[in-house]
Amino acid sequence: MAIPENQTTELRKKNLRLMWLLFGFALMVLLTSFPFWIGMFRIVGDQAAG
């Protein structure tokens, strides 16, 4: 498999670090979406009711 030519070891590490950071961020958005939205929905619902 061809490895791009400008990918020095240092740059590859830098790319992988940022990749994992972004992947972690996406995972955090996924996992927090459940409690966040349920809580947010309750607040909006209470406001509408009262």
Q: Closest approach of Cβ 31 to another protein, in Å?
A: 8
Q: In this structure, what are the phi and psi dihedrals at residue 3, rounded to the nearest 5 degrees?
A: -105, 130
User: Which residue in this structure is represented by tokens 């590490």?
Assistant: 13
Q: Using CB under 8 A as the criterion, what x/- string covers residues 13-32 for binding another protein?
A: -xxx-xx--xx-xxx-xx--
Query: What sign has the CA pseudo-torsion 40, 27, 13, 2?
Result: negative
Binding site for another protein (CB under 8 A): 1-9, 11, 14-16, 18-19, 22-23, 25-27, 29-30, 33-34, 37-38, 40-41, 44-45, 47-48
